[in-house]
């Protein structure tokens, strides 16, 4: 299968979405001049160009795109060509209203924005296939073409009639007959039993709480229906260019697609990432998304398809990035496995909904700070990128995450509406990030044997296979640290007898779960040595369990807050951040996870990729990092002897002098052999 490495050829790609159709042609020449200055190696074309390519039904206007493709080739810039199918032209919705999606109230989502396509509309699919076919046929052999980008950020839910029929077909395939569906949906509750397939609906507006299993299946179905759209276009371009990789860009930590299933269908996994510069936790959040994307790519290099050079325009208040932050976050992505770092978009628009969204080339032009920083970054990536491109990011810890559990768990009618799957992932990943413990993500049923420690922040629903995978992990000598409200339901969202699955209770040494005790937003619960938030549990331990920390005071006084049975730990509250970090560090040390570089000042992130050590300083005050031995900083060309001073948003890419690439040692610890 073609891969990102076929495109990068040993470099880290740099570039962005390029929308030349918004500009007169003379500007294109200025664009390439400045792209060359910024060492841009790749652009993504055509993402929203359907109306320009097919201004009337069946018409084709490729001339402008021919000229852009030629221009890119002339200047040695590779093109990731997008199928424009995320924004159908106005004529399609006008002539075929059934191509427009409907929300749960039946309201139509019209053209005039983007993403207004009904995924199960036969006409939409036919028209999308036709334009894709013609694009692929026309540019298959164009020398600028390096990769295909299908659609853009698939995310549209549709509750309309064709989607309803498709949902029924999907359900028939899953359940075969209505009585199996009724059983899986628990339809006896509130008398929802179906007597005909025609009665089955998407979870449209209801008076009161919806059937949770129906909602879960609708999310599964929507992810699959969108994936059918993706695969239809994928297959078309694949047939024309079997040698070129195909991707579609994910949104970061986005609920709407089963990211494991989808990633398996991509040659290159790519993501769009827009942390808020004002958010103190932005660097940690970015690290999470980067680790997840790398893991979706099976550890292979991945592509940061979009980031913002400066502010976005879709938050309430849109903050620019202080000088240096764009560089820091870009190198962070490279440190965590990206071999392509790109932006939305090359040139900031003057019109349209995103005219206040930054570009690599902002309204301030080539003398503006944004472009000056972009130019510097491009030069650095050109120089240092080849030292790191293609190298793996080793990790001995896996964090388990599953979209289906997210869909099942985050619904109405739960013990606490404050429980947020993504926020819990963030809290636990942040604890690992602060301990500088590198981690991959994994699906609960993946082979976990390569990891010394498995961390389960919160997986409300677990299948039998996943549960057996976890127990097998501990039997094989691994460590499992598991967060609360996990293993509560099976794959159909049916509560497991006893409230937590019996195999998990045995694994962790829980005799009985008496009750969940969720906490209010401002409530804290005292535990030995720390306070907990969000959640607590009334648990009885069995004789095999050791209480690591008990609740103190209140109703749960003396009951276990954290307990373990050998290498299996269970954490029944959300410890405050430092306590969670210390707990994971302790479990990792016991598990034999290679210790991270020690003595790192707070806010300094250390990541190993291949034979290099990246130091990324997320703070503003100068700090000194002790670094035994002599190192060579590839960015400055300087030798680092014993310690390195890092100023605001500093980045260092270090190779230990005394050792050849691939055997970097930090504070005396050898990295594990790379897979
Ligand atoms: C992404 C999208 C881009 C642009 C960007 C703005 O969601 O793919 O086209 O809209 O957001 O941040």
Give residue 86 CA to ligand 1 midpoint distance, Å.
Answer: 12
Instruction: Please provide the DSSP assignment of 250-311 as one string.
Output: EPTT-TTS-HHHHHTT-SS-EEE----TT-TTHHHHHHHHHHHHHHHTTTS-EEEEE--SS-
Alpha carbon distances (Å) from 154 to 227, 228, 247, 289: 8, 11, 12, 17
CB 527 within 8 A of CB 573: yes
Give the confidence band of 663 by pLDDT, cuts at 50, 70, 90: very low
CB 423 within 8 A of CB 330: no
Q: Is 153 a catalytic residue?
A: yes
Question: Comparing C-alpha atoms, which of 668, 625, 669 is closest to residue 646?
Answer: 625
pLDDT reported for residue 320: 98
Residue 176: exposure state from Cβ atoms within 10 A (0-12, 13-18, ≥19): exposed
**Tens-digit pLDDT profile for residues 100-148:** 999 999 999 999 999 999 999 999 999 999 999 999 999 999 999 999 9
**Tens-digit pLDDT profile for residues 530-582:** 999 999 999 999 999 999 999 999 999 999 999 999 999 999 999 999 999 99
Average pLDDT over residues 413-427: 98
Give residue 417 CA to ligand 1 midpoint distance, Å.
Answer: 29
User: Domains along the chain?
Assistant: 4-388 (3.20.20.80), 397-591 (3.40.50.880), 599-675 (2.60.40.1180)
Average pLDDT over residues 668-672: 28
- Ligand 1: which residues within 6 Å by Cβ? 152-153, 272, 274, 306, 308, 312, 344, 354, 357
Q: Is 198 a catalytic residue?
A: no
Average pLDDT over residues 343-368: 98
> Ligand 1, closest atom to CA 152?
8
Write down the catalytic residue from 109, 306, 373, 434: 306
Q: In this structure, what token pair is assigned to residue 449? A: 């044997």
State the DSSP H helix or E strand holding residue 605, giving kind and residue range, or none if neither. strand 604-609
Q: Which of 21, 46, 154, 272 to mutate to test the pocket of ligand 1 (most atoms within 8 A of CB)?
A: 272
3-class SS at 460? coil
633 Cβ contact list (under 8 Å, min separation 6): 639, 640, 644, 652, 653, 654
Print burial letters for 381-419: b (CB count within 10 Å at least 16), e (below 16).
bbebbebbbbbebbbbbbbbbbbbbbbbbbbeebeeeeb
Average pLDDT over residues 301-330: 98
pLDDT reported for residue 657: 82
> Ligand 1, closest atom to CA 314?
12
Token look-up 């106005």 returns 90
d(CA 15, CA 381): 11
Q: In this structure, what token pair is assigned to residue 304? A: 């940061």
**Tens-digit pLDDT profile for residues 238-262:** 999 999 999 999 999 999 999 999 9
d(CA 652, CA 643): 12
**Tens-digit pLDDT profile for residues 265-296:** 999 999 999 999 999 999 999 999 999 999 99
pLDDT reported for residue 658: 61
d(CA 543, CA 379): 62
Give residue 344 CA to ligand 1 midpoint distance, Å.
Answer: 6
Give residue 673 CA to ligand 1 midpoint distance, Å.
Answer: 39
> Ligand 1, closest atom to CA 308?
12
462 Cβ contact list (under 8 Å, min separation 6): 405, 444, 470, 486, 487, 489, 490, 501, 504
Q: In this structure, what token pair is assigned to residue 212? A: 């949770």
CB 231 within 8 A of CB 224: no
Q: Give the residue whose CA is nearest to atom 9 of ligand 1.
A: 344
**Tens-digit pLDDT profile for residues 37-47:** 999 999 999 99
d(CA 99, CA 162): 9
Q: In this structure, what token pair is assigned to residue 447? A: 């082979």
Write down the catalytic residue from 54, 109, 153, 396: 153
398 Cβ contact list (under 8 Å, min separation 6): 439, 440, 441, 442, 446, 448, 451, 453, 454, 455
Is pLDDT at 88 greater than 70 in this prediction?
yes
Average pLDDT over residues 480-485: 98
How big is the CA angle at 349 (ends 347 and 354), to the nearest 5 degrees? 120
């Amino acid at each position: 299968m073609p891969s990102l490495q076929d495109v990068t050829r040993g470099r880290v790609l740099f570039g962005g979405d390029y929308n030349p159709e918004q500009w007169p042609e003379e500007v294109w020449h200025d664009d390439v001049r400045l792209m060359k200055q910024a060492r841009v190696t790749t652009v993504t074309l055509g993402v929203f160009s359907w109306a320009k390519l097919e201004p009337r039904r069946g018409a084709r206007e490729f001339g402008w795109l021919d000229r852009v493709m030629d221009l890119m080739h002339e200047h040695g810039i590779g093109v990731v060509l997008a199928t424009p199918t995320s924004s159908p032209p106005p004529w399609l919705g006008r002539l075929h209203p059934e191509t427009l999606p409907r929300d749960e109230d039946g309201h139509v989502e019209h053209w005039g924005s983007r993403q207004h396509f009904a995924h199960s509309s036969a006409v939409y699919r036919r028209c999308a296939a036709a334009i894709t076919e013609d694009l692929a046929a026309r540019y298959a052999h164009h020398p600028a073409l390096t990769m295909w980008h299908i659609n853009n950020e698939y995310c549209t839910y549709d509750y309309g009639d064709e989607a309803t029929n498709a949902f029924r077909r999907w359900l028939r395939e899953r359940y075969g007959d209505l009585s199996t569906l009724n059983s899986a949906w628990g339809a006896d509750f509130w008398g929802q039993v179906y007597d005909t397939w025609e009665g089955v609906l998407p979870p449209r507006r209801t008076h009161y709480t919806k059937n949770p299993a129906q909602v879960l299946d609708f999310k599964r179905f929507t992810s699959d229906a969108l994936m059918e759209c993706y695969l239809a276009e994928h297959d078309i371009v694949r047939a024309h260019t079997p040698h070129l990789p195909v991707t579609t860009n994910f949104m970061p930590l986005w609920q709407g697609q089963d990211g494991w299933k989808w990633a398996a269908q991509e040659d290159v996994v790519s993501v769009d990432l827009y942390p808020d510069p004002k958010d103190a936790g932005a660097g940690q959040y970015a690290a999470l998304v980067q680790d997840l994307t790398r893991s979706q790519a099976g550890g292979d290099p991945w592509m940061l398809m979009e980031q913002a050079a400066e502010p976005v325009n879709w938050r309430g208040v849109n903050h620019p990035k202080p000088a240096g932050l764009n560089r820091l976050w870009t190198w962070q992505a490279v440190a965590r496995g990206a071999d392509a770092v790109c932006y939305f978009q090359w040139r900031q628009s003057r019109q349209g909904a995103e005219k206040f969204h930054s570009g690599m080339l902002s309204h301030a032009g080539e003398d503006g700070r944004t472009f000056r920083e972009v130019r510097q970054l491009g030069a650095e990536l050109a120089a240092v990128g080849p030292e790191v491109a293609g190298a793996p990011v080793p990790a001995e810890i896996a964090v388990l995450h599953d979209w289906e559990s997210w869909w099942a768990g985050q619904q109405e009618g739960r013990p606490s509406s404050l429980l947020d799957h993504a926020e819990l992932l963030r809290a636990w990943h942040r604890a690992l990030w602060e301990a500088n413990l590198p981690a991959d993500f994994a699906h609960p049923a993946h082979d976990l044997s390569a990891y010394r420690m498995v961390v389960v922040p919160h997986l409300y629903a677990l299948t039998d296979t996943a549960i057996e995978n976890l127990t097998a992990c501990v039997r094989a000598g691994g460590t499992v640290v598991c967060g609360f409200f996990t293993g509560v339901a099976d794959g159909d969202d049916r509560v497991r007898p006893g409230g937590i699955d019996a195999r998990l209770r045995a694994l962790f040494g829980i005799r009985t779960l008496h009750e969940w005790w969720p906490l209010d937003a401002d409530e804290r619960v005292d535990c030995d040595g720390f306070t907990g938030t969000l959640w607590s549990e009334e648990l009885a331990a069995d004789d095999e369990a050791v209480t690591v920390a008990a609740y103190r005071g209140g109703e749960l006084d003396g009951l276990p807050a954290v307990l373990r049975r050998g290498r299996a730990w269970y954490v029944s509250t959300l410890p405050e951040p430092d306590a969670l970090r210390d707990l994971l560090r302790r479990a990792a040390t016991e598990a034999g996870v290679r210790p991270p570089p020690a003595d790192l000042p707070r806010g300094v992130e250390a990541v190993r990729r291949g034979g290099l050590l990246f130091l990324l300083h997320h703070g503003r005050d100068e700090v000194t990092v002790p670094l035994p031995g002599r190192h060579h900083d590839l960015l400055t060309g300087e030798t680092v002897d014993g310690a390195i001073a890092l100023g605001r948003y500093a980045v260092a890419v270090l190779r230990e002098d005394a050792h050849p690439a691939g055997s970097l040692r930090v504070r005396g610890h050898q990295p594990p052999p790379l897979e």
